[in-house]
A and B are shown apart, each in its own frame.
Chain A
């Protein structure tokens, strides 16, 4: 069922539970629809006027339908008690201890995701609306000792794999929604409120990229619009061995044309940014482009990234 539903790749520890529940609910839907549908089709054909010139005043006398309704109700009780409530409680009540987790602030604004890491000291510096500027989107007080080492990125959420992440989510202006389909995470970002959420990534984005890599047929002059979000996953050369598109190069229409001219009729391509933050709540004219990028790295890569970011900090 999960394949049939076409759910995206799932890279979080809790995701499979949600997918499993989606599958169960869709099984129930399918059974009911097929059951009702068969009864419906049979009745419509069997009791057409041409076949049944006189209607039966009483109609169905059995109480099958009552049992059916009780059955549906029981199934719904099982869904709530057995799945919905425990799963939800895990998401909103059973937060992991902050000690063993990575805590990040995410401040949404029209139309960007500001990511705020506490830095080496593990303490977030204070923020103030009055300090907000183009260079300081979250209004961080760099003069405070806690704020000195904080790292702020825009639209780039970098996380280590295999470690719980706690996001403290808020917004500067209007309501946004922090949705990461590949992590089965969604939470509205509401101004005036800080809402925590947590999840644990279990796969690196590099790995996901490999998994999503496929062969695509190409032809000169025919541009598959899907290529706009893809990169080449190996080096491609022309007949004289000049590089046309290296691994990781974006696949613009002219690149595809050049590849086709060089005699390639298929290409190995994968998504440029496999995991994205998709704003899920209408937040204004730029809602469609309010997109953030998630990079899940190994712990070592993540630490290297942190120290690199820290090295750019003003002294």
Chain B
């Protein structure tokens, strides 16, 4: 794929233009994919922390239902992080780190505001309304404002153009717009905590009629979602065009790093799956604001009062539209993660990925299949045998490509010379943890077994294994792996190992007990954690185990946060542009890559993972070496 000389020239001009652009143009309204990637990353990390904080508060209520919450303790964590980052900002004289410090101060203030509110926390006890609202916002924030923006907006933006040898994304201004749409969506979601009745409280799934009749927060949630969806759509077009059009000479599709393939398929999922949800969000807004009844059937009686609406709508319509997005969305959370894991494993086993081609075909097939499994979330809505057989079958079929990818990654270890670097530790842990997540999907994907497990804690355990020690571990692997490319310095190894081992045990302490509770039949989304149900009694003690693990997990994020900011200025300097001896193109740029990325357009001669080729004297041959 040849880039035309004019594109090249235009780009160089825009680079020059940007170099004199000043602070705002360089750091805030930048059109450089790397700056935008970092903006996404920083915003997403803050949102991840915030979403996690909501859950830490909820876990108090679950472990000690009805007992007064020690608000100061929960404010302490963001406050400590804020103070530490501000100190680091002062020492290293970095305004941007200062900004992060102030953001955490804001978060501390927000938590304090919520916890000290006598209406939300009478006598320090979280009311059920607030519990539901935190639950809905935890899900929304973690998925739409945390993991996806970090995986796609952050890593995708930063790494994909570098790995395909492009000077930038195909549409740099669209890219900037995508970030700011996301930013506005995020601000709208945060603002919803302050509207009367608080933030949305009908679950991240927002099933009507509950969501249609919910408090104002739901309206704000829908508006926020419209911005977030728009952001994703703009971003996904950009990724597709960049990967199709801007690949360096010689970089054929079968020479693309697996990470690029994963982002490519992810972009198609976002592009094709989000529009139905955007439409659905607009319909729900109409139901709430314009008196329509898209999702409201006739004859509703709410709290003893007949609801004055025209009726005739279908609550199930929303579920179909929602899950038509939300199932592919699961793969949006997972595929970029697998992409990162593939890069890190190839690099740290010092050998080519085993079965690269099968992995590529598998990921394409996976993307396609993800559009026809959605109703396995709806087995309990009254489904006949024919439809349920179709969705059970597609669900079992989609497990095959996932098994292929995971098996290929596992077999890649065989015969390697494994370096246990911090990114590799996270990548290795991903394999069995994601394995548990995938395997526990089996009894949920089969309708008869789903009867017992549907909407129990088993479901929560299942998808958290996929996303938390799965995707989030992959994202940590990516952060430690590409950090030296972005900053020119390595993150501290010891702190990284503490972070890893602490997180590994704490995550299992949170999520494994959920599977046990689920098998006992404990429903999800219960304000008191099932305290009064007879069948829950024998597994109730686990609520405390999970909560303590969650707080321990938080404590083990402190070394990471400190390491992350401290190492920007004080980390060990890298000795070359390619500190991990890697083969892919992002390591063949100067460190950090300047605007425009490559000193000269790279020419690619070989596949992505030419490690330990017996014909080569060194144990790696970069893609651009003839």
Q: Which residues of A contact B (CB under 8 A)?
A: 5-8, 17-19, 21-22, 25-26, 28-29, 32-33, 36-37, 39-40, 43-44, 47-49, 52-60, 65, 68-69, 72-73, 76-77, 79-80, 83-85, 87-89, 91-93, 109-110, 129-130, 132-134, 139, 172-175, 177, 179, 181-182, 184-188, 190-193, 195, 225-226, 228-230, 271-276, 278-289, 291
Contacts and interface: CB of A to CB of B under 8 A. Distances in A.
Given A55-B611, A83-B448, A225-B531, 6 more contacts: A32-B439, A36-B410, A49-B420, A88-B389, A134-B304, A174-B209
A289 B131 CA distance: 14
Contacts, number: 309
B53 interface: no
B431 A60 contact: no
25 contacts: A6-B539, A7-B520, A7-B521, A8-B521, A22-B449, A28-B442, A37-B432, A53-B417, A55-B349, A56-B351, A57-B352, A59-B414, A60-B411, A69-B404, A88-B385, A133-B304, A175-B210, A181-B521, A188-B382, A192-B298, A192-B311, A225-B540, A276-B535, A281-B207, A287-B128
B392 A69 contact: no
A193 B316 CA distance: 10
B209 to A, nearest CB: 5
Contacts of A83: 446, 448
A175 B392 contact: no
Contacts of A175: 207, 209-210, 315
A59 B448 contact: no
A274 B533 CA distance: 9
Interface stretch (B24-32, B258-266, B570-578, B612-620): B612-620
B400 interface: yes
Nearest to B525: A282
Contacts of A59: 351-352, 354, 411-412, 414-416
A52 B417 contact: yes
> How would you classify the secondary structure of chain A's contact residues: helix, strand, loop or mixed?
mixed
A181 B452 contact: yes
A8 B385 contact: no
A188 B380 contact: yes
Contacts of B384: 92-93
Contacts of A60: 354, 411, 414-415
B287 to A, nearest CB: 13
Contacts of B350: 54-55
Contact of A174 (B210, B449, B619): B210
B455 A280 contact: yes
Nearest to A227: B537
B435 A190 contact: no
A282 B210 CA distance: 9
A254 B38 CA distance: 59
B418 A192 contact: no
Nearest to B378: A188
Given A52-B418, A195-B382, A291-B533, A132 B306 contact: yes
Given A17-B448, A55-B350, A87-B448, A33 B521 contact: no
B132 interface: yes
Identify the interface centre among A6, A36, A288: most chain B CB within 10 Å of its CB. Answer: A288
A243 B400 CA distance: 64
Contact of A181 (B297, B528, B535): B535
Interface size bracket, B side:
35 or more
B413 A47 contact: yes
Contact of A288 (B381, B410, B527): B527
Ranked nearest first, the 5 interchain pairs of A and B with the lowest CB-CB distance are A192-B297, A181-B521, A56-B415, A280-B455, A87-B448
A189 B300 CA distance: 13
B534 interface: yes
Contacts of A26: 443
Given A173-B209, A186-B380, A280 B523 contact: yes
Given A47-B414, A225-B540, A226-B537, A129 B400 contact: no
A77 to B, nearest CB: 8
B292 interface: no
A28 B528 CA distance: 34
Given A57-B612, A179-B455, A80 B527 contact: no
B612 to A, nearest CB: 4
B493 interface: no
Interface in B341-399: 349-352, 354-355, 380-385, 388-389, 392-393, 396, 399
A228 B533 CA distance: 9
A80 B451 contact: no
B303 interface: yes
Contacts of B603: none
B382 A190 contact: yes
Interface in B504-561: 516, 519-521, 523-528, 530-535, 537-540
B435 A55 contact: no
B406 to A, nearest CB: 8
B315 A192 contact: yes
Interface centre among B127, B304, B380 (most CB of A within 10 A): B380
B519 A7 contact: yes
Nearest to B351: A55
Contacts of B408: 65
A161 B534 CA distance: 20
B526, B530, B612: residue with the most chain A Cβ atoms closer than 10 Å: B526
B511 to A, nearest CB: 15
A5 B458 CA distance: 12
Given A57-B614, A174-B209, A274-B534, A47 B304 contact: no
B175 interface: no
A131 to B, nearest CB: 10
B523 A179 contact: yes
A231 to B, nearest CB: 11
Given A60-B354, A80-B396, A184 B534 contact: no
A279 B456 CA distance: 10
Nearest to A94: B385
B415 A132 contact: no
Contacts of B612: 54-57
A72 B400 CA distance: 8
Nearest to A194: B382
B519 A6 contact: yes
B440 interface: yes
A94 B396 CA distance: 25
A37 B435 CA distance: 9
A36 B520 CA distance: 27
